[in-house]
Amino acid sequence: MGVIRPVIVVLIDVLVFFFCENNKGVKGATFTFINKCDQTVWPGILGTPKLDSTGFELKQGGSISFQAPTGWSGRFWGRTGCKFDGSGHGSCSTGDCGSGTIECSGSGATPPATLAEFTLGSGSQDFYDVSLVDGYNLPMMVDGTSGSGTCASTGCMEDLNEKCPNELKIEGGGACRSACDAFGTPEYCCKGDFGSPATCTPSMYSQLFKSACPKSYSYAYDDASSTFTCTGADYTITFCPSGTR
């Protein structure tokens, strides 16, 4: 028995080691939302598998966190100008998801809307970006913490509504449309004969977005300077990071 016991202990240690190694990142990531805008924001969530909420109210100065498992893929955005009644039914002036309720329940943002996009644990890495491909409605920043790798902050701190060309402004000026959404032509939407990186190049409108927010996606093939990676991190999504609207 004096020989067998150490062998069992060693085997247990080996099994524990491999279990831990193979399950690194199983916890996924914690997403924390912070609202530094001078108004209430109603974040929307679209992703798989479904998180604890798909849409909620976040008052000025408020914060809330959600846990997402490894393998989760989806997007976040902020809705503005929302009016909901006591039963949670209503709509928003920008970023509305068309559900008619505070919860988006599987529906995405109606453009224009600033989007934060994530895929957790693809291989050993998380991939994330902030996209203006569907237009812009709010300043937004993404910061990774407690992770390994580059884990760069990304997003758009500028208020692009102030710089938005008249032809892209929505009524009331609360958001700025993308050229694809505004004009619908193949060269702006990167479709048809323009459906490849070689044929779909930056337009004067996407360059305006890129100049203001150099780390954000400005058009469909803007991957090289706009996609970021991190391993084992938690993420903070801040609306109006500079404290303004």
Question: Does a structural domain hold residue 9?
Answer: no
Give the model's pLDDT for residue 28. Answer: 87
- Domain span at residue 138 reads 27-239
Cβ–Cβ under 8 Å, residues 202 and 101: no
What are all long-range contacts of 192-195, with beta carbons under 8 Å and residues at least 24 apart?
none
Measured CA distances, 224 to 61, 203, 218, 221 (Å): 34, 17, 11, 8
Per-residue pLDDT for 7 more than 50?
Answer: no
Question: Does a structural domain hold residue 125?
Answer: yes
Mean pLDDT of the chain: 89
Q: How many domains does the chain have?
A: 1
- Cα distance between the two ends of the chain: 72
Question: Does a structural domain hold residue 50?
Answer: yes
Give the model's pLDDT for residue 223. Answer: 83
Q: pLDDT tens digit string along 31-50?
A: 999 999 999 999 999 999 99
Distance between alpha carbon 119 and the CA centroid of its chain, in Å? 10
* CATH classification at residue 206: 2.60.110.10
Q: pLDDT tens digit string along 200-226?
A: 999 999 999 999 999 999 999 998 889
Q: pLDDT tens digit string along 17-32?
A: 333 334 444 468 999 9
Tokens of 216: 């954000």
Question: Does a structural domain hold residue 12?
Answer: no
pTM of the shown model: 0.87
For residue 244, name the pLDDT band (cuts at 50, 70, 90). Answer: low
Question: Does a structural domain hold residue 21?
Answer: no
Give the model's pLDDT for residue 15. Answer: 37
Question: Does a structural domain hold residue 17?
Answer: no
Question: Does a structural domain hold residue 106?
Answer: yes
Per-residue pLDDT for 74 more than 60?
Answer: yes
Interval 167-185 mean pLDDT? 95
Question: Does a structural domain hold residue 163?
Answer: yes
Distance of alpha carbon 186 from alpha carbon 1, whole angstroms: 76
Residues 6+ away with beta carbon under 8 Å from 10: none
Give the model's pLDDT for residue 225. Answer: 85
